[in-house]
Structure 1
Amino acid sequence: MTVTRVKNVTISGIVSVLPETEKLNRDAVSSQDSQEMARIVAATGIESKRVVSQGQTALDLANKACELLLSSMDWAEDDIAILLFVTQTPDYPLPGNAVQLQHRLGLDKNTLAFDINLGCSGFVYGLWQISQLLNTLPRSKALLVVGDTTSQQYSENNRSVSALFGDAVSAIAIENCKDCDDMVFSLGTDGAGTPYLIQPFGGAKKPDEKFELFMDGMQVFVFTLREVPKSIQSCLFEKKWQVNEVDFCVMHQANEMMLKRLGDKVGFAEEQVIISMRKVGNTSSASIPLALCLSLSEELLTRKNKLVLSGFGVGWSWGSVALALDKLSVCTLIDLSLNSNL
């Protein structure tokens, strides 16, 4: 596990997007399977998820998020030094989503645009990567885009994942600042976890097989309890924060039972741990910024907050960050559902 500190960079705005279609878990099973689904919902806290329509992609959602973010921040197209897109569901194997999004948004040709293939730890890794790079460049602003359309990666009869994974994308405004607090990151990888959370089809090994995401939930749970508390504690130690000084801990929204166990293990009080996946599901790398928009927008828009953010999953890969955020310029949700009850 690597602990590192980033200076002179902060988050200044967040826009998240949820697709229009809502799928209820209770409607996805026959009557004889209803008890099994009830157990899944009770354990995970996920009653429904949002999924993209046919032909709709993470790039489409990202375009909507970035347009609103840029207009809300009043950034010009030639202000942006970096556009980083973290996704496991790009439109094409090549070119990546970032270069296409750069063109759609009309960003300057001097913008550095590239993708990173990461899932549930991707927001924290992306924040670390883009912040490090921004400190080396003359322009002071960057766009971090995170999210997947995981619903396109499995069939509905694949119960171990179909009840859990939804679709979402978040766009985050990152910029240099003179007086902002340092961000402390703790990052780690254990490739031994490869077989337990994997999309084995559609790549170079088995290019012609239909997508079918596989997850061993017990192995995920064991890995998470083993590595994530240590990662969070190392950030707190380096930041010199006590647990009770943290306003909120926002972890990857995997399932409710897991987050409660992790919070207890670190020592957070119930009210410090944000849980917001009940009607959106596990949204991969978008889950942390989406949770900020869903549950903490008022707090983030009106005052300074001490936050611990932690993502974990495919790889195994995990990353945590402790940071103090001043008031954001924007923190909002674009809900494409016509009848949103979020």
Structure 2
Amino acid sequence: MTEALIKNITISGIVSVLPEVEKVNIDKQSNENSQEMTRIIASTGIHSRRIVKPSQTALDLGVIACQSLLNEMQWEAGDISLIIFVTQTPDFPFPGNAIQLQHRLGLSKSTLAFDVNLGCSGFVYGLWQVSQLLSGLEGDKAILVVGDTTSQQYSESNRAVASLFGDAVSAIAIEKRQNCEDMVFSLGSDGSGAPYLIQPYGGARRPNTQPELFMDGMQVFVFTLREVPKSINQCLDRKGWAVNDIDFCVMHQANEMMLKRLGDKVGFTSEQVIISMREVGNTSSASIPLALCSSLSSKLTTQKNKLLLSGFGVGWSWGSVAIHLDKLTICLLIDLSC
């Protein structure tokens, strides 16, 4: 695994957006597949999911998140040096979401804008990439946007997949700040895992077939338990933190049983490990910032926190970061159903 140290860059605000449509995993009006679904809910902890309307996309949610973030941070359109959109569900094969977002937000033509194709590790990778690039630019402000509309990648009849994945997008304000705490990253990849979590249709290899997400849950579980604890421990060791120094560990919200096993393996207490997917599902790269907004907003906006954040999934791809966050200006969840 690769270690990376980032100096004088920090997160200063987060806005997450949930779409308004709710899908409940057990239909109370029907007993169809109720035993199987009860078993899935018991192991995953996912009771319902939020999904976009047919006309909505990750870009649409991203516009809402970014507009709110800019307003709350009181950033002007000309202040933004860089915007990166991490997504596996762009509006089009090209142009990417980020450059469309730059236009829709009215950002300067000097703003760098591009997409990154990553899934559940995408928040940590995106944070690392934005931080690296921002450190070499003259400006001092950037936006990272992460999230997918995974519900458009499967049919609801595929219950093993459909019961897990929801939609969400998060926008993260990142800026230069002298004398802020260093961020320590541990990043890794293993392409041998590609067949086990894949959207095999709709791309150049098989272009004219309806998308249908495939996941081998057991292979995902084995990979996660093998690689993620090592990544977390590498961050802690490099940062010089013990497990009990961490205020909160927020991992990709894949499923409840997996997070509990990972927490136990590293040595975190149940109070340290945030579990926040019960009513939203697995929201891909948005899941970590979404969990921060839904579970820790009051703490993140009123005090400093030592956090261990870890994302993992499709690829295989995984990344962790140890970060000592100062008080955030904003940590907001926008629920479009309200």
Name the TM-score class by shorter chain. over 0.9
1:7 is aligned to 2:27: no
- Give CA deviations for 1:285-316 in whole Å, capped at 9, x if unaligned: 00000000000000000000000000000000
Matches within 5 A, 1:72-221: 72-221=72-221
Letter in 1 for 2:39: R
1:327 is aligned to 327
- Give CA deviations for 1:137-182 in whole Å, capped at 9, x if unaligned: 0000000000000000000111221000000000000000001000
Matches within 5 A, 1:2-81: 2-27=2-27, 30-81=30-81
- Give CA deviations for 1:187-240 in whole Å, capped at 9, x if unaligned: 000000000000000000000000000000000000000000000000000000
Instruction: Give the SS at the match of 1:270.
Output: coil
- The root-mean-square deviation of aligned C-alpha atoms, in Å, is 0.9
| C-alpha separation in 1, matches of 2:275 and 2:229 | 17
Letter in 2 for 1:305: N
Alpha-carbon deviation of 1:4? 1.0
Letter in 2 for 1:114: F
Instruction: Give the SS at the match of 1:113.
Output: strand
Letter in 2 for 1:277: M
Matches within 5 A, 1:276-295: 276-295=276-295
| C-alpha separation in 1, matches of 2:32 and 2:328 | 48
Instruction: Give the SS at the match of 1:66.
Output: helix
| C-alpha separation in 1, matches of 2:223 and 2:158 | 22
| C-alpha separation in 2, matches of 1:30 and 1:199 | 30
Flag as ranges the 4+ runs of structure 1 deviating above 4 A.
none
Structure 2: which 5+ runs fail to align? Answer: none
Q: Is the 8 A contact 1:160 1:217 kept in 2?
A: no
Instruction: Give the SS at the match of 2:333.
Output: strand
TM-score under structure 2 length normalisation: 0.99
| C-alpha separation in 2, matches of 1:33 and 1:203 | 32
Instruction: Give the SS at the match of 1:37.
Output: helix
How many positions carry a matched residue from both structures? Answer: 338
TM-score under structure 1 length normalisation: 0.98
Q: Is the 8 A contact 1:29 1:37 kept in 2?
A: no
Structure 1: which 5+ runs fail to align? Answer: none
1:251 is aligned to 251
1:302 is aligned to 2:299: no
Matched-pair identity in %: 73
Instruction: Give the SS at the match of 1:173.
Output: strand
| C-alpha separation in 1, matches of 2:32 and 2:277 | 26
| C-alpha separation in 1, matches of 2:319 and 2:30 | 39
Alpha-carbon deviation of 1:95? 0.1
| C-alpha separation in 2, matches of 1:71 and 1:64 | 11
1:225 is aligned to 225
| C-alpha separation in 2, matches of 1:32 and 1:133 | 51
| C-alpha separation in 1, matches of 2:292 and 2:29 | 31
- Give CA deviations for 1:114-152 in whole Å, capped at 9, x if unaligned: 000000000000000000000000000000000000000
Letter in 1 for 2:107: L
Letter in 2 for 1:143: I
| C-alpha separation in 2, matches of 1:175 and 1:126 | 14
Instruction: Give the SS at the match of 1:271.
Output: coil
Alpha-carbon deviation of 1:330? 0.3
Letter in 2 for 1:16: S
Letter in 2 for 1:297: S
| C-alpha separation in 1, matches of 2:315 and 2:28 | 29
Alpha-carbon deviation of 1:30? 5.0
| C-alpha separation in 1, matches of 2:32 and 2:168 | 31
Instruction: Give the SS at the match of 2:301.
Output: helix
Instruction: Give the SS at the match of 2:33.
Output: helix
